[in-house]
Structure 1
Amino acid sequence: MAPAPRKSPGPSPQRRELYFFNLYRMLEAALLALVAFSPAGEYLLQIRQPALLQSVVVLYTVAAITLLVAGYRSELPPSRQAAIGLGIDIAVAAAVFSTTSGSQGGVALLLLFNVGAGALILSQRLGLGFALAACLVVLLDSLWLRTVDIANARPLAESVMFSVTYLATAVLCELLSRQVLESQALAEQRGEELANQAEINELVIRRMRTGILVVDGEHRVKVCNEAAWGLLGKPSPDRRQLADIAMSLHRALLAWRQGRGETPKAMTLGEGAPEVLPRFVSLSLTDNLFLIFLDDSRLYSDRAEELTLATLGRLSASIAHEIRNPLAAIMYSVQLLEETAQLPEADQRLLEIIHTQCQRMNGIVQDILGLARRERSQPESIDISQFARRFVDEYRASHPLETDVLQAVSERSVLAMADPRHLHQVLTILVQNALTYGRLPGEPAKVTVSVRSAPPGAPPELNVIDRGPGIPAPVAAQIFTPFYTTSEHGTGLGLYIAQQLCEANQCSLSYQPVPGGGSCFRIILPPGMTLMQHDTSPDRLNLA
C-alpha cells in the first residue's frame, strides 16, 4: 500500500495578485491608447500635447506587456516586480496629468486600484511610500493647474480627498495582505500536519499484525495491508476481486451483508496460511465500502495459553506454599527415624528413598515459589566478560568440582544491559545442568562459560557449553516446557525459569547442538539493549 503522492504546491498568493495587477495595467494602457489614438479622445479629454501623450502611452503599453510576461517567466520576486510596475504607473499618471486637461479625476481614480494592489504585494513601508508618491503627484498637479490654468483646475479639496483615500487604501490593503498570508501559512501548516498524520496512519495500518481489507460494494479489494496479504496466501496484486482471492471470505461477507446473523467461523484463506477469524464493519450507510479484519487464530491461542499458564502459576504457588508445612514435618520425622540405633537395613533404604523424594519435592516447591515471587528486572550496564569470570570463580569456591572442569573464556570486554541477579541465577541453572547431565559416562564434565565478542552493531552472546552426549532433537524441542524432565531427580522447571528470566531482561535463551558432541545454551542480548562498544571514548560512543 504505497503512500499517496503529495500534490505540488500551487502559485503563491503574491504571484496570483501580481498576475491580476498586471492584467489591470493592460486595461489601463488600453484605455489610455483609446484616448491618445482614437478620434473619440478629443471628446473625452483636452489633449494639450498629443505627440508626447502618444509616446507615453506606447511606452506604457510596452511596459505593461513586458511586466505581464515577466510575471510568468522572470525570477524576480513578486514584490520587486510590483514595485517597478507601481513606479511606472505613478510616472505615467504624472505624464498624463501634464499633457491633458480635465483628466485628473479619472486618472486619479484609476491610480487608486494600482496603489491598493501594490500595497497587497509590497511591504508596509514600500506600500505607504508609493501611496505618498501618488498623493504628491495629485496634489502637485492640482497646485500647478491653479497657477497656470485656474479655469481647468479642480478644487483642492478633491485632490486632498484622493490623497487621503490613497493612504487609507494602502493601509487597509496591507492589513488584508498580512491576514491573507497568515491564513495561507496556517492552511499550509494544517495541510502538512494532515498529510503527515495520513502517512503515520497508513504506516500503522500497514505494519499492524491484524490483517485489514477494504472492499467496495462489488467486493473489489481497495486496500490490503501486509498482514492481510500474508493471511490471504500472498495473492497476485492483479487479483482484485475478493471472490478470486478467497471465496470463503467472499461468501462470509455476503452472508453478513444479507443479515443472516451467522458468526463467521475460523477459515484458511490461502495455501500454507494460518487460520483466521474474520470480522466485518460497514464504513458507509450506502453499503459501498466495508472493512474486514482478519485476526490470526494463533494469537488467540497464544494469549489463552499465556493466561492459562499465569493462572496455573498462581495456583501452583498457592499449592506449593501449603505443601511446605506437611513436607517439613515429613522430613523432620525421617531425620528422627534415621537416628534410631537399631533399624533394619530395608527400613533404612525406605527412609533414604523418602528423604530423597522429600528433597526433590522441596526443590520443586522452591522453584515454583521463586518463579511466582520473581522480582522485576533492574538492568544495568555490566561487563559480561568480567561477570562470567567472577561467576566461575565464585561457583568453584562454593561447589567442590573434584575432577570436573569449569572455566570462563572471553576475548575482550563486552558491555551490555542485564540484571546481575537474574543473569547470575540463569548461569547457575545452566552450569548445574551442564555439570549434572553434560558428561560422558565415566568421564569428568567439561563446562565452558564463553563470552563471544560480536562485531559493532551485533548483539553479544553468552554461551554455556559442555562436552557431553548432547540432547536428542525430540527432547530439545521441549526442554523449556514447564515440568518437562527426563530425569527422575529433576523438577522440569530450571530451564523454564531461566528462559523466563532472560525474557524479562529482553534477552533470548536457546539450545544449540555442538558439532562433535555436546550442548550449548546461548544467551543473546538484543541490539537495543547494547549500550557501548569496547572503545568508550566520547567520539566513539555508540548508542544502539
Structure 2
Amino acid sequence: MRKDPAEAPSSWFGPVEKQAGAWESEPGGESFGRLWRAFMAARVMLAGVLLALQAFIYALGQPVGQAMATLCVAYFVATLAVRVWAHPKPPGSNFDAQWVSTVGVDVLTFSALNFLQSGAINYTALFALPVLLSSVLGPILLALGTAASVTLLLLAEAWWSSLQLQGDSTARFLQAGLSGSGFFIIALLANQLALRLSREEKRARSSQSAARMQTQVNELVIDTLVDGVLVIDTHGIVRAANPASQRLLATEGAARSAPFVLAAEAAWQPLADLAQMTFGEHSPQQADVSLEHASRHARRLQVRTRLAASRDGSHESLCVMFLEDLREMEARVRTEKMAAMGRMSAAVAHEIRNPLAAITQANALLEEDLSDPGHRQLTSMVRQNAQRLARIVEEILNISRVQEQAPLEQTDSLPLDGMVQQICSDWAQQTASGHRLQVRAGAGRTAVLFEAEHLRRLMVNLLDNAARYASATNGAIQVATDITASGQARLSIWSDGQPLEKTVQSHLFEPFFSSESRSSGLGLYICRELCERHGALIGYQRVMHGTVEGNEFFVLFRSARAGEAFPRTGFDTMSV
C-alpha cells in the first residue's frame, strides 16, 4: 500500500525516506554511539573552555556582561545534561527533538555569543562544531540545512553590525559569505567522508562475518573428518587437533586436548621427527609409522604432512599433519574388493544358469534310458551336484537383488507371532524336522516392520543353518519370540550345536565364508542384508537353554505403530 505524501515525515528539503544517514541502517549502532559520545564530550569541553575564557577575561580586569556569563553557564549545563542523560539515536532529515537539543542549541548559543561579543573576540569558528555534528551523524540535507542556517545567521549578524556601527559594511558581509561558503564545503566533505567510513565499516563487518562463518564451517568439517588432523608449529607444539587425531593418539585410553608437546610421549616421536623434516626441507612428507605404546599393541598410521608458510614471512609457518589408521584403510580396501568380487560373481552366476539348466535337463533325459545301477549312480551324482550349483547360483543372485534394492521406509507391518509359527510349521513339514523343533510365541500383539517374504527367507536360512549343526534329539532347535526391556520385538533361533571357534565367529556374516567346504557361505550374509534393509539387527551369542548350552541367532525388529497391532495369541509352546 502506497503511503500518502501528506502523512509522510517531511523536512526542509524533502521526504525522510529519501534521506538516509551514514549510520542510520547500521546494525547495533556501535559506531554511531561512539561518534555521538565523542561529539557530546567535545561540546562539554567547548562549553567549559567558554566558561574558563569568561573567567580569564574577568581576572584580567575586563568587564564581563551578565548576559554573556549567564549564556555560557546555561550552555555548559545544557551540554552536560545531554551528555549524561540523552541516548544516541540516528537522526532523521529534519530537526527532531534530540537534534534541537544539540545542533539547535549550539547554533543559537554561538549566534548569541557573536551578538553579545565584546572587544575583538570572534566566535564564528565555533559554528564548525554543529556543522560537523550534523554532517557526520546525519544525512546530507540535514548537514546542508545546518550550514545554511549558520550562513543566514552570520549574514544577519553582519547586517545588524552594519546598522549599529558606522563604517564599511562590505567587509562584514564578505566575511560572513566566505565563512558560510566554508561551512557548506565542510558539511559536504564531512558527510561524504562519514558515508565512506560507514560503507567501509559495513564491508569490513560483512567480511568479518563471512570469515567467521567460513571458520566455523572449516572447524565443523575438520571435526567430523575420519582422518586425524594435527596443526604443529616449529617448536613441536600441537596447536589444534580434531577428535579423530585425539582418538588415534590416545594413550592408556586418555585423549589429550591441544595444545600439547608432540614429543612429550615416546610413542609419538616418529610424528615429531616427520614434522621437523617438513620444516627443514620445506616440502610435504609421507610415511607409514608405527606408534609403539607400552600398554597396548602398536598402532600403524599413514602420515601425510603439508607446510602452511607465510608468503611474506610475517607469520610463523605451521605443519598440517593428516593421520589415517592403516587397519581401517585395509578394511576399506577389503570391502571394495569384496564388492567388486560380488558384482563379478553375480555376473558369472547369471551366465552359469543357462548351461546348468541344460546339463540338468540332459542328465534327467539320460537317466530315464539307463538301467545299469552303476550308470544311474553316476547320473544321480550329476543331479545332486547340479542342484548344489543351482542353489549357489540362486544365493549369489539373491545377494545381488538384495543389494540393488534401496532401503525403503517400511509402511506394511505383520504379526510376528503368527508369521513365525506359520513359517516354522511349513519348514518342519518340508524338512521332516518336527520332532526337533519347538516354537514359543511370546511377542503377544506386537507387529513388526518387515516384509513377509523376506522374513520367510531369513528364518529358513537360520533354521537350515541350525538343522545342519543341531543334534537329532527332541527340542534340539528352539524358536522363540518375546519383547525386550526396551520394548523391541525379538526373534531367537537356538540349537544345541557345538560352540563356534573364535575365528568363525568374527567372520560369521561375511560373504563366501563358511566352516564347511560344501557350503557357499552366503546364507548368513543374506540374512544380514535383509535385516539391514528393514532396519533390524541380527546377532549371534552362546547361551544356555535349561541345562544345555547352544548357539543362538537373534533378530531385533522395528516395531510397528500401536494402531497396527494384531490380536493377542498368547504365550505358548508349540512342538511341530
Q: What is the TM-score when the length of structure 1 is the normalising length?
A: 0.75
Pick closer, same or farther for the CA change 1:340–1:276 going to 2, 3 Å: same
Task: Give the count of matched residue pairs.
Answer: 505
Structure 1, residues 109-139: CA drift from partner, whole Å, max 9, x if none? 3213322223322466765665555455334
Give, in angstroms, the shift of residue 294 of structure 1: 1.5
How far apart are the structure 2 equivalents of 1:535 and 1:193?
Answer: 50
Deviation at 1:255, TM superposition (A): 5.0
Deviation at 1:364, TM superposition (A): 0.6
Match in the other structure for 2:261: 241
Task: Give the equivalent residue in structure 2 for 1:521.
Answer: 554
Q: 1:294 to 1:87 in 2, by over 3 A?
A: same
State how 1:439-454 maps to structure 2 within 5 Å. 441-443=472-474, 446-448=478-480
Query: How is 1:81-480 mapped onto 2 (pairs within 5 angstroms)?
Result: 84-100=101-117, 106-122=122-138, 130-131=146-147, 133-135=149-151, 137-149=153-165, 151=167, 155-156=172-173, 159=176, 162=179, 166=183, 169-170=186-187, 173-174=190-191, 176-234=193-251, 240-245=260-265, 246-255=268-277, 264-270=287-293, 271-272=295-296, 274-284=299-309, 288-340=317-369, 342-344=371-373, 347-372=375-400, 374-386=403-415, 400=429, 403=434, 410=443, 420=451, 424-425=453-454, 427-434=456-463, 437=466, 441-443=472-474, 446-448=478-480, 461=488, 463-469=490-496, 472-474=499-501, 475-480=504-509
Change (3 A) 1:290 1:388: farther
Q: Deviation string for 1:69-110 (max 9, x for gaps)? A: x3xxx5722558765332331221132123126879x43332
Matched ranges for 1:16-31 at <5 A: 16-26=34-44, 28-29=46-47
Cα offsets for 1:483-522 (capped at 9, x unmatched):
2334676431021123234446666433345552562332
Structure 1 counterpart of 2:65, from 33, 47, 50: 50
Paired residues of 2:367 and 2:379 also in contact (CA < 8 A):
yes
Provide structure 2 residue ranges, at least 5 long, that are not aligned to the other structure. 1-26, 91-96, 565-576
Deviation at residue 242 of structure 1 after TM alignment: 2.4
Distance change in 2, residues 1:268/1:31 (3 Å): closer
| Deviation for aligned residue 1:350 | 4.6
| Partner Cα separation in structure 1 for residue 447 and residue 175 of structure 2 | 90
Is the contact made by 2:148 and 2:184 (CA closer than 8 Å) also made in structure 1?
yes
> Larger deviation: 155-164 or 315-324?
155-164
Instruction: Indicate which of 71, 74, 87 corresponds to 1:76.
Output: 87
- Contact 2:106–2:130 at 8 Å: present in 1 too? yes
Counterpart Cα distance in 2 of 1:413 and 1:150: 113
1:156-203 C-alpha deviation (Å, 9 max, x unpaired): 565466556656655664555444334333322321221222123223
One-letter code aligned to 2:247: G
2:75 aligns to what? 60
> Quick one: structure 1 residues 75 and 67, their matched pair in 2 at CA, closer, same or farther if it must change by over 3 Å?
closer
> Does 1 or 2 have the higher relative contact order (CA < 8 Å, sep 6+)?
2
Checking the alignment, whether the CA contact within 8 Å between 2:103 and 2:134 is kept in structure 1 is yes
* % identical aligned pairs: 22
- Please list every run of 5 or more consecutive structure 1 residues that lacks an aligned counterpart in the other structure: 1-8, 456-460, 537-544
Q: Structure 2 length as normaliser, TM-score?
A: 0.71
How far 1:359 moved relative to its partner?
A: 1.0
Structure 1 distance, partners of 2:202, 2:563, is 48
Q: Do the aligned partners of 1:450 and 1:463 also contact (CA within 8 Å) in 2?
A: yes
- Report SS of the residue matched to 1:294: strand
Q: CA RMSD in A?
A: 4.5
